[in-house]
Amino acid sequence: MTNQFEKDHVLLKQAVQEAGEIARRFFKGDLKSWEKKPGDPVSEADIAIDTHLRDLLMAARPGYGWLSEETVDDADRLDKSRVWVVDPIDGTRSFIAGKPEFTVCAALVEDGSPVLGIVYNPILEEFYEASLDDGTYLNGERIFCSDKSGLENGRFLTSRKAFEWHGWLNDAPGASFSHVNSIAYRMVKVASQQVDASLSFTAKSDWDIAAADIILKEAGGISTTTSGQSLHYNRKSVEHRNVISCGAALHPALMDLLTSFGQKKS
């Protein structure tokens, strides 16, 4: 990293650690929450963390852009080379329910690609971080994706019903399936070999995945759409139609499995 990126990394770590303290104060407390639209909850903790991160990061780097789930989008970000991309709480539904399956996510995107990323579960004290060409770390220890290349006995963070519906179970004998509400948390679990792959077949936004994307990449993994397209950030549309994350060795087998899905959904 350049000296500037090192400074940005230190700044981002401080901001996210402090955001984690805010999350802990609200967690399992008398929390106010509401729906932005049906099925899309938000809490006062989301707003408090968003305000904290925006105030700290933008005060320190006023020339950078800002994109967050809880801030009204400002098209000025499209003219910025570097943009902070933030999800104050990814997994708000779990947070409101008092389940420690949420994360604070923050990334620095440069020219459409993440160059710094942090995904933090402040309840379980899991601090994932990565910077471009400098590896991925969990609580200070270097981590890597699995080098598994086949689907047999795969550990997948996705719905078993999706595999049943598409007729994929016979292609992945012995596979196990589980669920976590936070897409970023799913992706970093791939980076730390807790699972082999995360498959999300619903649309996600930049703030959901940018930080986890570089964490996975620097751990030797890859995230694409079901048809193998790479992910690009800070565009006019921040939506990605689906996200498949796994170790690089497993990606070809998953793409073969998902061929019919990609043809149907692309």
- Let me know if the fold of 3-142 is the same as that of 155-265: no
3-142 maps to which CATH number?
3.30.540.10
The identity of residue 177, as a single letter, is: F
Token pair 């689906």 is found at: 242
| pLDDT tens readout for residues 42-57 | 999 999 999 999 999 9
**Confidence band of 263 (pLDDT split at 50, 70, 90):** very low
| pLDDT tens readout for residues 75-98 | 999 999 999 999 999 999 999 999
CATH domain 155-265 topology: D-Maltodextrin-Binding Protein; domain 2 (3.40.190)
**Confidence band of 264 (pLDDT split at 50, 70, 90):** very low
Rounded alpha-carbon distances, angstroms, from residue 203 to 13, 191, 214:
28, 21, 19
C-beta of residue 146 within 8 angstroms of C-beta of residue 189: no
Map out the domains of the chain as residue ranges: 3-142, 155-265
The partner residues of 126 in beta bridges, in order of sequence, read 121
Total-model pTM = 0.95
Ranges of beta strands (E only) in 29-157 are: 33-37, 40-43, 65-68, 82-90, 103-110, 113-121, 126-131, 136-138, 141-142, 155-157
